[in-house]
Structure formats: structure tokens, C-alpha cells
Structure 1
Amino acid sequence: MKITRTTQLLAASVLGLALAGAGVAGPAMADDDPGTGNGIDVSVKIEPTTTPGQVAMTVADNNGVALQENGSDATARQFVGTLPTVTVSDTRQPEDIPAGEFWAVVGQASQFVAADDPAKTIGPQYLGWKPRLLSDSSTGAVAAGEPVSSVISDGTGAPQVGLEGQELLVSTANSSDEIGTSQVNADLALRTSTDVAAGEYHSTLTLSLFNQS
């Protein structure tokens, strides 16, 4: 389903806290006559360091996705591949999440451009995907996004809108349930016209983590 809600990009950051080590001095040399109780006790209470909870996204190491022709027919040429695993971890406390807030990973493909001729292009509307939830340690409050098809139908009945701002993974608006780690990938399918110009084409698929309300 194409995003129409108000969104805000999450700027995930990690605050590193360090306690600088200090040398421990040896016992001070005292006078032969230590006196009668002039010493001053110096104390400090050092609390454990904590890192604030956050929502963070990582993508498995990869060398890109090389789509391979598979499933072509009389109506379209089809090229398929698999998106690398995407992981979202939510380590916030329930009380730190505003009521009604949830997050989503959104995918946006750029235009495919031929390496030998920039005038030859294939629009992102020809690229579809089928997200697949691989694991979820939340209490069932995270779901894979809806499948979308190329504007040339794949016969599944999925919306024919292409990959132009589609949800890959989304949490619900229930802060206490969405906390945890979830992993997702997706089957990619580029369906073009049968007379598409030959060539090696390249596109950039951008994945962004947003919070939504």
C-alpha cells in the first residue's frame, strides 16, 4: 500500500559513554605524628551507564541484487531476485513511545538506466516485490508489507503500482507490543514489455525507516 500518512525520518544514533580511567595514587607519606582526626573522606557514587532505547535498521552485507530472467511469457519478460535481509530492532521502553506512534520501512526504486545508453530506461513502476517476514521477537505487532506488482500484471491480483514508496515492514500502533527485533526480505520481480531494449540496466533501491502517526 503506498504511503499517504504523515511521516518523519528517524535519525537513529548511539551515544557512547566512557569513563576515563584515572591512576590510583599510592599512600601519601604521613608525618610521624598523624594528628587526631583531620582527614577528610572523599567519596563518589558512579551510576551504571545506560544507552537510550532506539529504533534502528540494518541491511545484511551484500553486493547488490542481480536480477535473472525467469517466468517470462507472451505478455512480459520477467527478471527476479531476492532482497537482502533487513533487520529492525526496537529497544525503547513502552513509556518512551508516544501513544499511537508506529514505524515502517519503506522502499523506493529509482529508474533503471542502461549502462551503454542513458537514454534507455525502465521506470520503477515495472519493479514489484513480495515482502516476507522471516522472524519477529515482538508480540506479533510487526507485519510484512503488502505485495505489489509491476504495472504489467503478474497474475496474482497484487496492486499494479510498482516499487515507488511501498512498505516492506511495518509495526502497529501498540508501543508495548512492537518492541523487539524483526527480520524481513522480499522476492523482487521486474516485469517489462516483451520488446524491451537489450542491455545491462542499473537501479538503486532505497530503504528508509520512518516513524508515523
Structure 2
Amino acid sequence: MKSNRTMQLLAAAALGVALAGTGVGVAGPAMADPDPDNGIDVSVTIEPNTTPGQVSMTVADNSGVPLREDGSNAAARQFVGTLPTVTVTDTRRPEDIPDGDFWAVVGQASQFTSTGGSAPPIGPQYLGWQPRLLSDTSTGAVAAGEPVSSVISDGTGAPTVGLQGQELLVSTANSADEIGTWQVNADLALRTPVDVAAGEYHSTLTLSLFNQS
């Protein structure tokens, strides 16, 4: 919603510039000089914000992640894609955060099941990812999770455990030092046996934000 509103404001500003440059000589009403004696003082007193902050997570609008074949070889069929951008925001006040508090975004994939169930399922251990931190406006340490590979190794040396409860983004120090906003995504790679049955498969990738003191 925020992005759409920004785009609308930019379009209106561009339109205004175009109209101002048309050169049409239309006389407008005369503008009187401002009279300071007739001015009205507008004031506001803003009290300190007492609304408790929170740690929250959002996922960019998406229609799912279609994986495409790329990088297949004699060892495995490989299908890749990109996770939509995930944003974590911590608006808490330092004094409201317990010592040792930390949070993490964890991903868990379900089995890939074929449409109609005609082919054997592909377990989540065949799906890996490589998280990537996109932005960092924090004052402390927040890091992308470690890459993990399918049980059929991708040759990078990443643990071959698949996407079964793996960290996408994690605070690595006291959360009181890490108030801010972060964005992260991940390269996804499904590596299956070369004799995997043909068909259309679907899995659900669940992202969960955990906070622990």
C-alpha cells in the first residue's frame, strides 16, 4: 500500500511539471502580499509516544515462487527461484526489551506433492536456500541465515539438510541494540534425483518470526 501511494504521488508531481511548462498564457488572479498581522498561529503539543513497540514481519506481495530448471547435471535435476522480500521491523524502546532478548525468522518447507498425486512426493530435504540481506538500518548486529543445500549436495559445502527449520534472518546480539528495519530474501534451489517423475509439484514454505528472551 505504501509503495502504491508513493508511485501515485510521483506521477502527480511529474504531471504538474508538464502542465507548468506548456507555455499557455492564461492570466490568473492577483495574489496579495501576506499580512503578518492577520496570520493565525497553528500550534500542536506532541506528547511522548507511550504505545508499546513490537517486532513484526511482512512478506512482499507475491503469487508464489515458480521454480525453473537451471543447473541440472548428471548428479541432479536443479530448479531455482527467488524468495519474495521479507521485512522485519523492531519498534520497541530499548528500556522495554529484556536483557538477552533475540529474534529469528525461520523457514520450513512442506513436501512437494504432485498435482493429482500421481507421482511420489519430494521431501523438504531436497530444497535449499541461500539467504541474502538486502538492507540494514539497525544499530546492532543482524545477519542473514546460513545457506543450506539439498541432501543432494550443490558442491558449495553448505550443510545438506534441506529447508527444514532453517534461519532466514536472525538477531545475533542483544535486541535492545538492534532496533530498526531489515529486508532479506533468498535464492531457492530444489535439487532432485535425475530420475524424478515428471509432473507439476507444489510445496508450502512457511516463514515464522520467533522472539525469545
Greater gyration radius: 1
Deviation at residue 139 of structure 1 after TM alignment:
1.9
Residues 149 and 182 of structure 1, relative CA distance in 2, 3 Å threshold: same
Deviation at residue 120 of structure 1 after TM alignment:
2.1
Rounded to whole Å, the distance in 2 between the matches of 1:134 and 1:72 is 28
Residues 81, 187 of structure 1: 8 Å contact kept: yes
Q: Secondary structure at the match of 2:177?
A: helix
Deviation at residue 52 of structure 1 after TM alignment:
1.3
Rounded to whole Å, the distance in 2 between the matches of 1:131 and 1:72 is 21
**Which residue of structure 1 aligns with residue 133 of structure 2?**
133
Deviation at residue 73 of structure 1 after TM alignment:
0.3
Relative to structure 2, which stretch is displaced further, 139-148 or 100-109? 139-148
Rounded to whole Å, the distance in 1 between the matches of 2:102 and 2:48 is 30
Residues 195 and 119 of structure 1, relative CA distance in 2, 3 Å threshold: closer
Rounded to whole Å, the distance in 2 between the matches of 1:180 and 1:52 is 15
| Higher RCO structure, 1 or 2 (CA under 8 Å, sep 6+) | 1
* Letter matched to residue 160 of structure 2: Q
Per-residue CA deviation, residues 88-108 of structure 1 (Å, 9 max, x unaligned), is: 000001111111110000000
Deviation at residue 172 of structure 1 after TM alignment:
2.1
Q: Is residue 81 from structure 1 mapped to residue 77 from structure 2 by the alignment?
A: no
Report the TM-score, using the length of structure 1 for normalisation: 0.76
Residues 99, 173 of structure 1: 8 Å contact kept: no
Per-residue CA deviation, residues 126-173 of structure 1 (Å, 9 max, x unaligned), is: 000000000011024110000000000000000000000000000123
Residues 107, 207 of structure 1: 8 Å contact kept: yes
Unaligned runs of 5+ in 1: 1-45
**Which residue of structure 1 aligns with residue 70 of structure 2?**
70
Rounded to whole Å, the distance in 2 between the matches of 1:169 and 1:147 is 11
* Letter matched to residue 133 of structure 1: L
**Which residue of structure 2 aligns with residue 92 of structure 1?**
92
Q: Secondary structure at the match of 1:186?
A: strand
Rounded to whole Å, the distance in 2 between the matches of 1:97 and 1:119 is 49
Report the TM-score, using the length of structure 2 for normalisation: 0.76
**Which residue of structure 1 aligns with residue 110 of structure 2?**
110
Q: Is residue 143 from structure 1 mapped to residue 146 from structure 2 by the alignment?
A: no
Per-residue CA deviation, residues 69-118 of structure 1 (Å, 9 max, x unaligned), is: 00000000000000000000000011111111100000000000000325
Deviation at residue 177 of structure 1 after TM alignment:
2.0
Rounded to whole Å, the distance in 2 between the matches of 1:98 and 1:48 is 21
Rounded to whole Å, the distance in 1 between the matches of 2:174 and 2:49 is 28
Percent of aligned positions that are identical = 83
Residues 106, 208 of structure 1: 8 Å contact kept: yes
* Letter matched to residue 158 of structure 1: A
Unaligned runs of 5+ in 2: 1-45
Runs of 4+ off more than 3 Å = 46-50
